[in-house]
């Protein structure tokens, strides 16, 4: 039996997963574009964007692992 709480939790999980993946893509794009510049400001932006990439990659790996486990 599927309850309303289960459906709401599933929807929240999907929303958080999508937000994490979109944020990862934005950080990666920002870092690449900023690292192409030669100014100090560009290098600061690139370093700032690099801070959040590792935790987001780990979250992405966890999301992929859970989705694969659901399929099996």
Local mean pLDDT, 10-residue blocks, the chain (72 residues): 61 85 94 91 91 92 89 84
- What residue spans define the domains of the chain? 4-71
How far apart are the C-alpha atoms of 8 and 12, rounded to whole Å? 6
Burial class (CB in 10 A: 0-12, 13-18, 19+), 53: middle
């Amino acid at each position: 039996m599927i309850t309303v709480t289960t459906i709401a939790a599933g929807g929240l999980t999907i929303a958080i997963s999508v937000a994490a993946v979109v944020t990862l893509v934005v950080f990666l794009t920002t870092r690449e574009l900023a690292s192409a510049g030669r100014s100090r400001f560009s290098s600061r932006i690139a370093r700032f964007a690099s801070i959040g990439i590792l935790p987001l990659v780990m979250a992405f790996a966890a999301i992929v692992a859970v989705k694969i486990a659901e399929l099996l």
